[in-house]
Amino acid sequence: MRTITGTVTSNKMQKTIVVTTHSYRVHPKYHKKYRVSSKFYAHDENNIHQIGETVTIYEANPMSKLKRWTVTPPATK
């Protein structure tokens, strides 16, 4: 199961959040690092996550055209 950690950038949809991740790559010719962003649509069953939070999402079966990830439940004690 693949997992990704990123920041919530949108929670305006019902039961769905947008998670943005950043990674760095090196240009093959100029050897300069540059930042690449990726957005993932994730299922948030209870609509509890807010913009700016750091969340971990895991890969799941497709739920809609774009939504293929689910938010991991918060750790309970």
> Domains in the chain, ordered, with CATH?
3-71 (2.40.50.140)
Average pLDDT value for residue range 33-43:
98
Tokens of residue 39, six digits? 């957005």
- The number of CA neighbours under 13 Å toward the Cβ of 2 is 7
User: Residues 17-28: what's their mean pLDDT?
Assistant: 98
Radius of gyration of the chain (CA): 14
Confidence of residue 1 (pLDDT cuts 50, 70, 90): confident
Judge if pTM exceeds 0.85.
yes
User: What pLDDT, on the 0 to 100 scale, is given for residue 76?
Assistant: 57
What mean pLDDT, rounded, does the chain reach?
94
How far apart (Å, rounded) are the C-alpha atoms in residues 31 and 25? 9
Give Cα 8 distance to the centre of its chain.
7
For residue 1, what are the contacts with CB-CB under 8 A and spacing of at least 6? 58, 59
Is it the case that residue 75 has pLDDT exceeding 70?
no
